[in-house]
Amino acid sequence: MNPTPDAWLQTDAFLADTLIGVDDALEEALRAQRANGLPAIEVAPVAGKFLHLLARICGARRVLEIGTLGGYSTIWLARAVGADGRVVTIEAESANAAIARASIDAAGIGERVDIRVGRGADVLPTLVGGFDLVFIDADKESNTLYLDWAAKLGHPGTVVVLDNIGRAGEIIRDDTTDSQVIGTRDALKMLGDDPRFDATALQTVGAKGWDGVAVAVVV
Ligand code: DHB
Ligand code: MG
């Protein structure tokens, strides 16, 4: 097969069908998100399950998400933390938070999820630390600020996941003026240089085009 976006899409659909299947709560969350005009920038199904499995693998009981959108990734994470676990998720747009609240509650794990409405820069200083996994998927300009908070609110062993690190290869363009690309590249440099983290990153293709995800541990 030629490595075209259509081939990536079909292959991603095969992987999602084979490994995830039909999930009514997640599909209803996406339907609500689309019906309310939110952008289709939630993680792909296979990426949502990757987050879920990472949280289970590290035994996460407290998860922090920065960027709720419509709650799709939040549901994946909340399912991983167990009945006594908690997900704190930060969303800047109150309209998005309301949609997420309804979808998360409908998924039956509402009591595990605390949605904080506000900008990350304002909400993060109000949180109590001890998070076992932090998922950063918000305004890319603030990625280095979010990584700094992830280190502060985590502990040695905390898993940090940073979404959208590939950006269709734009991150290697030194002449870019795109503030989101610059914020992402700065975050990758921070993950490489900052002694609080040990990190890698994987490029991805699939339902979300050509992008990628960084995974780090707080040392
Ligand atoms: C964008 C943001 C995301 O978090 C994502 O997964 C894809 C795209 C964006 O702002 O373009
Ligand atoms: Mg994203």
Pick the residue whose CA is nearest to atom 7 on ligand 1.
41
Cβ count within 10 A of residue 87: 30
| Mean pLDDT, rounded, of the chain | 97
Percent of the chain with pLDDT over 70: 100
Neighbours of 184 (CB within 10 A): 26
SS3 content of the chain, % helix, strand, coil (to 5): 50, 20, 30
Q: What is the CA(41)–ligand 1 centre distance, in A?
A: 5
Tens digits of per-residue pLDDT, 185-194? Answer: 999 999 999 9
Neighbours of ion ligand 2 (CB under 5 A): 137, 163-164
What is the rounded average pLDDT of the residues 115-138?
A: 98
Looking at residue 98, what is its pLDDT?
A: 98
Confidence at residue 60, expressed as pLDDT on a 0 to 100 scale: 98
Q: What is the DSSP letter of 169?
A: G
Ligand 1 atom closest to residue 69's alpha carbon, by position in its atom list:
4
Task: For domain 5-218, give its CATH number from 3.40.50.620, 3.30.70.920, 3.30.930.10, 3.40.50.150.
Answer: 3.40.50.150
* Residue at 204: amino acid letter: T
How far apart (Å, rounded) are the C-alpha atoms in residues 85 and 103? 18
pLDDT tens, 44-63? Answer: 999 999 999 999 999 999 99
Question: Got the DSSP string for 100-149?
Answer: HHHHHHHTT-GGGEEEEES-HHHHGGGS----SEEEE-S-GGGHHHHHHH
Contact status, residue 162 vs residue 213, Cβ threshold 8 Å = yes
Nearest CA to ligand 1 atom 8: 41
User: Residue ranges of the domains in the chain?
Assistant: 5-218
Asked if residue 1 has pLDDT above 90, the reply is no
